[in-house]
Structure 1
Amino acid sequence: MLAHSPNGLMIRKLESIFPLSDEERQVLSELPIQVTAFRPDQDIVRVGDHPFQCCLVLQGFTCVYKLTAEGKRQIVAFHVPGDIPDLQSLHLKVMDNSVATVSPCTLGFIPHETLHDICNRYPRITAAFWRETLVDASIFREWMTGIGRREAYNRMAHLLCELKVRLEAVGLVEDGTFDLPITQAELADAVGASTVHVNRVLQELRADGLIRSKGTQVSILDWAGLKAAGDFDPLYLHRRRDGNA
């Protein structure tokens, strides 16, 4: 059972980066959303597809990935509940990346035609969606910096910091603990390391007293220490502070 209504989750996420009026919230709350369950490791859209709808993550995690000619996968983003991982398909008619489920997922699908209609009628909603795509681009830049210039230990610490902040925005962190349904192989594809190296790095983070993990649950034990280890500054996530965007 969903902790939040599909529309309410989308509104909560957008309001973490953009101030919405009562009228705009009402319009978004009335958007028709078709809810569908997906298995883990299932493509939602693939490179070359011409989608006619956008997907909203309601439960679980998804990833954006690219494949090399040899079939090696690079995950370039994780998306959490409240995110719309293929929002760019509103204007880029051919997908240049693939989006897949990481865990069992519940997704909501919104037709492009419907989104175009409310964007034409409500310019500030257009601005909210535009800001959402700009934040995604900012995250891509940060990940590129990490893969190019940070060691695996620091990249992993940074990723855990990022996911905590993003999950907090939709109320999915409690006392520093959150669900992380991502395998070590998937983490390896995201941080550009081997699965063996990822396992070693996670052990080091636990040994240093920064995190605790049990199953898919991760607890941040030393937030300041984890931020320092990851060279993490949440500026690039562009969250609203004190009511300001």
Structure 2
Amino acid sequence: MTGGHDLRYRSRLLAYSELTETDRTAIDALLDQRQRIVAPRRDVVAEGEVPRFVHFVLDGWGCRYRQLPDGRRQMLSLLLPGDLFDPHLQVVGRTDHAIGTITTMTVAEVVPEQLSALSHGSHGIAQALWWNDHVAMGTHREWIASLGLRTARERIALLFCEVYFRLRLVGRCTARTCEFPLTQADLAEATGLTPVHVNRMVQDLRRDGLIAWSGRTLTILDLDRLCEMAIFTPAYLHLDRAVAAG
């Protein structure tokens, strides 16, 4: 389980606010109440569903996505270990997009009213929830800008940079290496490209000595050059707000 402030969920909720020991204990208790394991390539929340829980990603990868009736799908954002999504369900009638898994995902399902009560009783938790929403919206804006402005090569490079910095924030990187279980088809859905085009761009990044990607592991070989190529400015992730991991 998640007792003892497990780093698996050291999320934006913990990373963007100085939480007291009482806050952390309360979050531990909340996340331990109800957990679910969802198989790969399944929906956690289907489009049009009436949502019941706030979800914390304890382990595994997922995404927000929209799918058209003819099967075309656009990935809207990635959900990584430590993330939480849709903390303000009280204002949502039915979901306008789906949440799907990429790998096996373990989520904690939290009753919205319980999380709301915690935030009303703690300035630190309320602040952390606000920053979580702010970063999520900033990430959506950056993906939209990427689709409209960046070249194919820049889009792929941006995704590698973003994933690396997000995983590093929650203690999921070893030096410049992190897990990366996406397929080239996943990258295509995230960047608005075809899988063939994605393959060409990935090969270019490899040949240029910027990344090594094999199986489920990504290594950033030249972070500065990769960030420069991606026109990656981490302001939208608000890393300057992050509280140093203890």
Instruction: Name the TM-score, length of structure 2 as normaliser.
Output: 0.91
Map 1:102-181 to 2 at 5 A: 102-181=102-181
Between 34-43 and 159-168, report the one with greater CA deviation.
34-43
Query: 1:28 aligns to what SS in structure 2?
Result: helix
Bigger mean CA deviation after superposition, 16-25 or 77-86: 16-25
C-alpha distance after superposition, 1:54-89 (max 9, x if no partner)? 111111111000123433111010010010133343
Structure-2 residue corresponding to 1:70 = 70
CA distance in 1, matches of 2:116, 2:38: 26
What are the Cα deviations for residues 8-55 of structure 1, in whole angstroms up to 9, with x where unaligned? 343554232222233322322221432221111100101211111111
SS at match of 1:182: coil
User: Retained in 2: the 8 A contact 1:6–1:108?
Assistant: no
Gaps of 5+ in 1: none
The aligned length equals: 242
Amino acid at match of 1:105: M
SS at match of 2:81: coil
Tell me the residue number matched to 1:195: 195
Aligned match of 2:14: 15
Secondary structure of 1:71's aligned partner: coil
Q: For residues 5 and 202 of structure 1, do their structure 2 counterparts lie closer, same or farther at Cα, with a shift above 3 Å needed?
A: farther
Query: Is residue 157–residue 226 contact of structure 1 (8 Å, CA) maintained in 2?
Result: yes
Partner of 1:234: 234
What secondary structure does 1:31 align onto? helix
Worse overlay, 30-39 or 155-164: 30-39
Supply the RMSD in Å over aligned alpha carbons. Answer: 2.0
CA offset at residue 118 of structure 1? 1.3
User: 1:202, CA displacement in angstroms?
Assistant: 0.7
In the aligned structure 1, how far is the partner of 2:63 from the partner of 2:134? Answer: 17
| Equivalent position amino acid for 2:110 in 1 | I
**Aligned counterparts of 1:53 and 1:105: Cα–Cα separation in 2:** 16
In 2, Cα distance between the equivalents of 1:210 and 1:98?
33
* Aligned counterpart, 1:24: 23
| Structure 2 residue identity aligned to 1:177 | T
Residues 56 and 107 in structure 1, CA contact (< 8 A), matched pair in contact too: yes
- What TM-score, normalized to structure 1? 0.91
In 2, are the aligned partners of 1:62 and 1:80 still within 8 Å (CA)?
Answer: yes
Gaps of 5+ in 2: none
Q: Against the structure 1 CA distance between its residues 136 and 178, is the aligned structure 2 distance closer, same or farther, given a 3 Å change threshold?
A: same
Cα contact 2:3–2:28 (8 A) shared by 1: no
Percent identical pairs in the alignment equals: 32
Does the 8 A contact of 2:17 with 2:124 survive in 1?
no
